[in-house]
Structure 1
Amino acid sequence: MGQPVAVVEKPSTTPGVVRFELNRSLTGSGHEHFRSPSDAIGPRPAAVLARRLFDTDHVEAVHMFSNIVTVDLRKGSDTAGLFDLMRDLYKYWKPGVEPPVFADEEPADEPASAGTDAAASGGDAELSEAAKRVPSHLLERSRSARERWKAKQGG
Structure 2
Amino acid sequence: MGQPVTVVERATSRPGVIRYEINRSITGTGHERFAAGQDIFGERPVDELARRLFERGGIDAIHVNSNIVTVDLAKGGTRDGIDELIANLFIYYGPGVEVPTIPEGA
Q: Which has the higher contact order (CA 8 A, sep 6+)?
A: 2
SS of the counterpart of 2:15?
A: coil
1:19 and 2:19 are equivalent in the alignment: yes
Q: 1:51 matched to which residue of 2?
A: 51
In structure 2, relative to structure 1, the CA distance for the partners of 1:6 and 1:37 (3 Å cut) is farther
Q: 1:60 matched to which residue of 2?
A: 60
Residues 36, 59 of structure 2: 8 Å contact kept: no
Q: 2:6 matched to which residue of 1?
A: 6
Q: 1:32 matched to which residue of 2?
A: 32
Name the larger-Rg structure. Answer: 1
Gaps of 5+ in 2: none
Question: Aligned partners of 1:105, 1:91: CA distance in 2, in Å?
Answer: 28
- Runs (4+) of structure 1 moved beyond 6 Å? none
Identity %: 50
Q: For 2:87, give the aligned amino acid.
A: R
**Shift in Å, 1:15:** 0.6
In structure 2, relative to structure 1, the CA distance for the partners of 1:102 and 1:38 (3 Å cut) is farther
Residues 52, 85 of structure 1: 8 Å contact kept: yes
**What TM-score does the superposition give when structure 1 sets the normalisation length?**
0.65
**Shift in Å, 1:40:** 2.4
Q: 2:83 matched to which residue of 1?
A: 83
In angstroms, what is the RMSD of aligned CA positions?
Answer: 1.3
Residues 37, 50 of structure 1: 8 Å contact kept: no
SS of the counterpart of 1:62?
A: strand
Q: For 1:90, give the aligned amino acid.
A: F
Residues 63, 71 of structure 2: 8 Å contact kept: yes
Q: 1:130 matched to which residue of 2?
A: none
Equivalent residue pairs, number: 106
SS of the counterpart of 1:89?
A: coil
1:69 and 2:69 are equivalent in the alignment: yes
In structure 2, relative to structure 1, the CA distance for the partners of 1:39 and 1:65 (3 Å cut) is farther
**Shift in Å, 1:100:** 1.8
SS of the counterpart of 1:86?
A: helix
Question: Aligned partners of 2:37, 2:44: CA distance in 1, in Å?
Answer: 14
Higher helix share: 1
Question: Aligned partners of 2:62, 2:105: CA distance in 1, in Å?
Answer: 45
Gaps of 5+ in 1: 107-155
